[in-house]
Amino acid sequence: MSSFSASTLVMLLGASTAFAQAQYPNAAAGGDACATACVTAYRACQGGPDANQSFCASQLASCVGYVPFDNSGSFVTPTACSATATATLYSSAAPTHGAGGDSCATACVTAYRACQGGPDANQSFCASQLASCVGYVPFDNSGSFVTPTACSATATATPYSSAAPTYGAGGDSCASDCVTKFRTCQSDLSNTRAQCASDLSTCVGYIPFDNSGSFVTPTACSKTATATPYSSAAPTYGAGGDSCASDCVTKFRTCQSDLSNTRAQCASDLSTCVGYIPFDNSGSFVTPTACSKTASATATTTQSGSAAPTYGAGGDSCASDCVTKFRTCQSDLSNTRAQCASDLSTCVGYIPFDNSGSFVTPTACSKTASATATATQSGSAAPSYAKTTGAVPHPSATGSFSSCAANCVTAFRTCQSNLNNTRAQCASDLATCVGYNPFDNNGTFVTPTSCAGGMGGMGGMGSGNKTATATMSRPAVYTGAAAINLGGPLAALAAGAVALMI
């Protein structure tokens, strides 16, 4: 054995420790956690003093269960550990001799030397191929090559070649097969891209998309991957629980990665899938841990606003009132745009956004819209607009239009000064008081100079001789179809307007 420095020994021992720890990132999970741990240990090994790159590469190959280098010797970052990866690293201890005997070892060494002598030879690639061929790491603690005398019982019967080896069910052949099926699924226009991506995730055993939604080509299947290739059929959900939620989130992420989909559509489909709106009051995504008991058995792929609504008796006055509430909601910086869009969808009875996510001004309410225009906060009960302190002033029977507007604005400013009130609440009360929406299309406040029609707002108090008390609820401004519970898919689809804001 050749001599070696103390620093080299420390490096090798440290690298061995790092790889040993990398073997158990989450034995059951496989997937990214395993591959990430192996790559982390590989980088630590490479960065050590007097690092032996061949030793590091062979350790990495053992860790992930296959050779993560392409035919040119370039490193291909593993996305998952192969199902064939061993639970423990190969060691430099004498292997258990298999049927291959000396002829196997000789063939492996011959191929190793040929690899080393090739033009632009990548020594790390050659070493990792050799380790795979003989079934263990033929380097001692100093990183020096120890000529194999036999192959391990775990070694393949044939020596490696410079071509990418064909692994078992978990290796490159598995990942390649899954990707092929994914591309075939995508080419079928009758399939949704979300479904194809979800099936791919099931096939390889993890989600092959990064946090930005970009596709990361799988290099291997996870240990948790299914043995059979996926189909384009929608999965049958169980009793809810993590598997349901996980599948829904997978579809959500893959939907987001498709630039032809609107974010609103993806968020809407997710809400339908899990049976509730998984976004908090700030509009931030809260990863579902389980599906609601009300979740549909299959995730819908309804295009936002693609179906023409059936217009009901509400007519323009209904739609106009809903849009007014939408604009006042938008003008409140404490509200999320997703919340406002969701409330608007509930109000008009359908999603007034086209496939590009652009707002299409409603001209009428759908027959499915509730009989009164709601201001429901996403995922919460309808708020009470009775939080304002004191009475909302209305003009007297003899009051002028300008005095009416002045009184309304005064009440608006008083409402704003109360920290217990929301801006949306105050703006909504002001709109009710003056009888129209005093905000332009940009949400900018336009000071009212008069009340609509000389009335003290939309409350029907034309004479102005009736004071609006702090406990008065906001009146309906139209009549339409009987109130219908907008729970289930429509409520979830309404929540899909979150795409406008995420």
Best mean pLDDT range from 172-186, 202-216, 269-283, 361-375: 172-186
Nearest C-alpha neighbor of 95 from the set 16, 148, 167, 160: 148
pLDDT score for 405: 84
Within-domain flag for 344: no
Could you tell me if 309 and 366 are in contact, meaning their C-beta atoms sit under 8 angstroms apart?
A: yes
Number of domains in the chain: 1
pLDDT score for 421: 75
Within-domain flag for 375: no
Within-domain flag for 33: yes
Within-domain flag for 278: no
Task: Summarize pLDDT for 99-136 with one digit per residue, the tens.
Answer: 344 688 888 888 888 888 887 777 777 887 888 787 77
| Radius of gyration of the chain from its Cα atoms, rounded to whole angstroms | 33
pLDDT score for 292: 66
Q: What is the mean pLDDT of residues 210-230?
A: 66
CA–CA distances in Å: residue 194 to residues 209, 252, 492: 12, 7, 18
Q: How confident is the model at residue 84 (pLDDT cuts 50, 70, 90)?
A: low
pLDDT score for 478: 29
Within-domain flag for 57: yes
Within-domain flag for 84: yes
Residue 186 has pLDDT above 70, yes or no: yes
Q: Average pLDDT of the chain?
A: 64
Q: How confident is the model at residue 321 (pLDDT cuts 50, 70, 90)?
A: confident
Burial of 420 (0-12, 13-18, 19+ CB in 10 A): exposed
Percent of residues, the chain, with pLDDT higher than 70: 57
Within-domain flag for 125: yes
- Residues with Cβ within 8 Å of residue 370, at least 6 apart in sequence: 346, 347, 349, 483, 484, 486
Task: Summarize pLDDT for 450-494 with one digit per residue, the tens.
Answer: 787 544 444 333 333 333 333 333 333 322 333 323 333 333 433
Task: Summarize pLDDT for 62-73 with one digit per residue, the tens.
Answer: 787 777 887 777
Q: What is the mean pLDDT of residues 344-354?
A: 76
Q: How confident is the model at residue 41 (pLDDT cuts 50, 70, 90)?
A: confident
Quote the domain boundaries for residue 128.
6-134
Within-domain flag for 65: yes
Residue 367 has pLDDT above 70, yes or no: no
More confident site: 192 or 253? 253
